[in-house]
A and B are shown apart, each in its own frame.
Chain A
């Protein structure tokens, strides 16, 4: 990225040599993403984040088909806020939005889609893996069901891209900072023939799908991060080994693990009965362990996670949920150390609450 921030800063829409190089750098990154995603380069629209990509997919599709015969939109109840929060807007456009109930691990069963779908459904939105529990849904099956009924399918693959193969679905959102690229850059895959109405216009960039001077450095960083992920065949095995070692290290303090049918390699979602997540996180932070409870973007608000409530958890349990996520560089030693600090935090917290 550095040269594209420093001496190669030209606006890719200009005509001179330096600008053409910036344009080529964008195209190279686009080709890399296309290769990783198994789509055409021209199907990729760079955005400023995963949030924007998801907004463009859902709001843009709704806008483009406003007033048509298909007036229902199905959204999995465990979607990230960037999908869930489009609901009032979609309703204001005249759509009926239905939230589909999810399983206890927050995955969406294809059966739930089957039950709700009909020929009046415009769009189904269901994420590949849930960002809190890490549970993976059978999105290929969901795509097939949607297609049978002529509905479009949008898949938020922000958590899986770079770890799992991305299934070839109609619309896919991804975000660079979840796979070691920079913050502030994301992309939407829009399959040929599908045309969401752009939400940011005026400049013509990204084939008129997303205006604004391209974030060249961010795009180059994204492309490189994707290339590294593709070349790192053992990444998933390494990450899950660390996660498994961590989980094994917790056995003495009886965590309640969230049982997922299929889950992300780096996610460990669990709770300690009677121990509130907020206090646990503060204790963990003091011990130098950075973890999360709900999604980061709703931390700071102490409401229980909408994901877990949608998954049918009682509020008391939802408030205890902790999320530990492991990365490509987490060593086994760190994983073991993290487990022992978690145990320490649990003991501290339990004895503090016993005294109180």
Chain B
């Protein structure tokens, strides 16, 4: 049975181009990029090329502002740990922002509205507390809502705060041009853009403070120690190049697929709502089926080889109520029936057809077993 993969917000496959480029750095060119000999210099050159490509992808002025990390979780922790004063984070951040913020005991949450957009009135009130850092993600990983980082960043600057955005789910889909925007830090993860797991990047605008997080060597200009993950970095560079070349076009195609899923599922199934904004991220679709056990739908889809998720991957299996869905004010009857479908460049029209059919029948089946009555 072929699997149909609709969980690209949890992880994406490595692009074949990226994988091919990585292989030599596992095999014949395995040298430590910090050593002096020629093989090491070749590894080092490959790392620097990837750094330039990642800088180009996000529109950073200077590649030296890019630090390679093990993923967005690490990058987010590093940015938040840099600050010892007050912080503001949105109520729908990924746990890798939300948890360090909460642990610090110096952070407050900015509310979002029912579409998952930042509540600007609440935000501007909180800015009066003189925070040092504001952290708001570009695209939410559960519902795909997109934030206006220009507006948020401008307000942060006016209040004298620095601004960080976790761009993990948004990078590659639009022109970011971060250098020209009111933003100081951005974090991303390879495995969400067809690079491998275990590699990510942190952008810190020159001049923005950054506390050393991992110590023990002069790597990454003293900002992140540890032997460089050369194949991972090379994979991230190639994945970034593919996004620069094709990302926007692919995003437009995904938006069409997403809209078709919404249209057809809504016409096949009653009592369904679409979470997020009217104009959402193209690749993330959050659907709630009223009074329907989402987990059962997921299991039923899995038995047909279809992968999607009830909450986000890191809270799956933990049976925690999604913070994001709670923050947008979903009542329990909707929340429990929420399913996330996420697309990638490799998602085909036929796969979408199959998904629509399977989702329609799974929801119907789960509802009928539970004695669900519409209307």
- A contact residues around B99 at 8 Å (CB): 201-203, 211
- A contact residues around B309 at 8 Å (CB): 14-15
B320 to chain A, nearest CB (A): 9
B350 interface residue per 8 A CB criterion: no
CA distance A19 to B30 in the complex (A): 29
Q: A203-B95, A300-B218 are in contact. Are A217 and B197 (CB under 8 A)?
A: yes
A215 interface residue per 8 A CB criterion: yes
- B contact residues around A215 at 8 Å (CB): 70, 196-198
CA distance A10 to B196 in the complex (A): 11
- A contact residues around B12 at 8 Å (CB): 9
Q: A175-B227, A281-B36 are in contact. Are A204 and B314 (CB under 8 A)?
A: yes
- B contact residues around A177 at 8 Å (CB): 30, 32, 227
A 16-32 contacts with B by CB, 8 A: 16-19
Q: Pick the residue among A11, A51, A175 that contacts B7 (CB under 8 A).
A: A11
Q: Are B40 and A19 in touch, CB under 8 angstroms?
A: no
Q: Pick the residue among A89, A183, A292, A297 that contacts B217 (CB under 8 A).
A: A297
A 282-307 contacts with B by CB, 8 A: 282, 284-285, 290-293, 295-301
Binary interface profile of B, 153-184, with partner A (CB < 8 Å = 1, else 0)? 00000000000000000000000000000000
B19 interface residue per 8 A CB criterion: yes
Q: Pick the residue among A16, A182, A212 that contacts B298 (CB under 8 A).
A: A16
- A contact residues around B10 at 8 Å (CB): 10-11, 13-14, 19
Q: Are B216 and A85 in touch, CB under 8 angstroms?
A: yes
- A contact residues around B22 at 8 Å (CB): 5
Q: Are A292 and B302 in touch, CB under 8 angstroms?
A: no
A80 interface residue per 8 A CB criterion: yes
Q: Pick the residue among B73, B217, B313 that contacts A11 (CB under 8 A).
A: B313
- A contact residues around B315 at 8 Å (CB): 204
Q: Are A202 and B76 in touch, CB under 8 angstroms?
A: yes
CA distance A86 to B213 in the complex (A): 10
B 9-57 contacts with A by CB, 8 A: 10-14, 16, 19, 22, 26, 30-32, 34-40
A229 interface residue per 8 A CB criterion: no
B12 to chain A, nearest CB (A): 7
B225 interface residue per 8 A CB criterion: yes
CA distance A184 to B71 in the complex (A): 11
B 102-151 contacts with A by CB, 8 A: 103
Q: A81-B217, A218-B198, A290-B38 are in contact. Are A202 and B31 (CB under 8 A)?
A: no
B208 interface residue per 8 A CB criterion: no
Q: Are B96 and A201 in touch, CB under 8 angstroms?
A: yes
Q: Are B7 and A200 in touch, CB under 8 angstroms?
A: no
Q: Pick the residue among B216, B219, B318 that contacts A55 (CB under 8 A).
A: B216
Q: Can you name the residue of chain A whose Cβ is closest to the Cβ of B229?
A: A184
- A contact residues around B316 at 8 Å (CB): 13-15
Q: Can you name the residue of chain B whose Cβ is closest to the Cβ of A210?
A: B73
Q: Are B3 and A5 in touch, CB under 8 angstroms?
A: no
A204 to chain B, nearest CB (A): 6
Q: Are A7 and B13 in touch, CB under 8 angstroms?
A: yes
Q: Are A199 and B217 in touch, CB under 8 angstroms?
A: no
B77 interface residue per 8 A CB criterion: yes
Q: Pick the residue among B38, B189, B225 that contacts A213 (CB under 8 A).
A: B189
A104 to chain B, nearest CB (A): 24
A6 interface residue per 8 A CB criterion: yes
- B contact residues around A218 at 8 Å (CB): 197-198, 232
Q: Pick the residue among A16, A211, A298, A301 that contacts B96 (CB under 8 A).
A: A211
Binary interface profile of B, 277-311, with partner A (CB < 8 Å = 1, else 0)? 00000000000000000010011011001110110
Give the residue among A86, A183, A285, A297 with the most B Cβ atoms within 10 A. A183
Interface residues on A, range: 35 or more
A50 interface residue per 8 A CB criterion: yes
- A contact residues around B302 at 8 Å (CB): 15-17
- A contact residues around B219 at 8 Å (CB): 297
Q: Are A11 and B198 in touch, CB under 8 angstroms?
A: no
B375 interface residue per 8 A CB criterion: no
CA distance A204 to B318 in the complex (A): 10
B231 interface residue per 8 A CB criterion: yes
- A contact residues around B36 at 8 Å (CB): 278, 281-282, 285, 292-293, 299-300
Q: Are B227 and A297 in touch, CB under 8 angstroms?
A: yes
Q: Are B14 and A15 in touch, CB under 8 angstroms?
A: no
Q: Can you name the residue of chain B whose Cβ is closest to the Cβ of A197?
A: B103
B341 interface residue per 8 A CB criterion: no
Q: A211-B96, A298-B217, A299-B36 are in contact. Are A216 and B197 (CB under 8 A)?
A: yes
CA distance A200 to B100 in the complex (A): 8
Q: Are B226 and A52 in touch, CB under 8 angstroms?
A: yes
- B contact residues around A83 at 8 Å (CB): 216
B228 interface residue per 8 A CB criterion: yes
A78 to chain B, nearest CB (A): 14
Q: Are A51 and B226 in touch, CB under 8 angstroms?
A: yes
CA distance A175 to B226 in the complex (A): 10
A48 interface residue per 8 A CB criterion: yes
A260 interface residue per 8 A CB criterion: no
Q: A183-B228, A211-B73 are in contact. Are A13 and B313 (CB under 8 A)?
A: yes
A133 interface residue per 8 A CB criterion: no
Q: Are A201 and B216 in touch, CB under 8 angstroms?
A: no
Q: Are A296 and B196 in touch, CB under 8 angstroms?
A: no
CA distance A202 to B71 in the complex (A): 12
B65 interface residue per 8 A CB criterion: no
Q: Are B218 and A212 in touch, CB under 8 angstroms?
A: no
- B contact residues around A250 at 8 Å (CB): none
Q: Are B7 and A10 in touch, CB under 8 angstroms?
A: yes
A54 interface residue per 8 A CB criterion: yes
Q: Pick the residue among B11, B39, B71 that contacts A10 (CB under 8 A).
A: B11
- A contact residues around B197 at 8 Å (CB): 9, 213-218
Q: Are B11 and A202 in touch, CB under 8 angstroms?
A: no
- A contact residues around B74 at 8 Å (CB): 48, 200, 212
Task: Give the 9 A-B CB pairs with smallest separation, nearest first.
Answer: A82-B216, A215-B198, A184-B229, A48-B70, A202-B96, A297-B217, A212-B73, A51-B226, A202-B99
**19 A-B residue pairings within 8 Å (CB atoms):** A6-B13, A9-B11, A10-B10, A16-B306, A51-B226, A80-B216, A82-B217, A85-B215, A177-B32, A185-B198, A199-B213, A201-B95, A204-B315, A211-B73, A212-B70, A217-B198, A292-B36, A297-B32, A297-B219
Measured CB to CB, the residues of A under 8 A from B are: 1-2, 5-7, 9-11, 13-19, 48-52, 54-55, 80-86, 89, 175, 177, 182-185, 199-205, 211-218, 278, 281-282, 284-285, 290-293, 295-301
Given contacts A14-B307, A81-B225, A298-B218, 18 further A-B contacts (CB under 8 A): A1-B26, A6-B13, A17-B305, A18-B3, A48-B69, A48-B198, A55-B215, A177-B32, A184-B227, A184-B229, A202-B73, A204-B95, A205-B314, A215-B196, A217-B196, A296-B35, A297-B218, A297-B227
